[in-house]
């Protein structure tokens, strides 16, 4: 009797533990997928805005350098 109950009980506990761990990992994967989507969206936004910000920063500097060159006579 013990020869049958022990392995069956071990098998059932193992199956339950495996199911628990797989559900836990699925939840973790879904959280990570959400994070990846957020990072992807952020990166796409940065790629679109970065040239505009750089241009907005460089244009006044270039104008000031041009003005200085005109004043100095270069």
**Rounded-to-integer distance, Cα 1 and Cα 4, Å:** 6
**Rounded-to-integer distance, Cα 21 and Cα 18, Å:** 5
Q: Has residue 2 got a pLDDT over 80?
A: no
20 phi-psi bin (left φ>0, alpha ψ -120 to 50, beta other)? alpha
What is the mean pLDDT of the segment spanning 47-67? 92
Distance between terminal CA atoms of the chain? Answer: 102
pLDDT value, residue 25: 97
Tokens of 15: 């199956």
Tokens of 13: 């506990």
pTM of the model: 0.56
């Amino acid at each position: 009797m013990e020869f049958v109950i022990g392995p069956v009980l071990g098998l059932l506990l193992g199956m339950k533990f495996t199911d628990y761990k797989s559900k836990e990992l699925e939840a973790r994967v879904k959280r990570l997928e959400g994070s990846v989507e957020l990072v992807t969206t952020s990166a796409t936004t940065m790629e679109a805005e970065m040239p505009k910000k750089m241009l907005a920063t460089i244009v006044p500097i270039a104008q000031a350098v041009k003005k200085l060159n005109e004043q100095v006579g270069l």
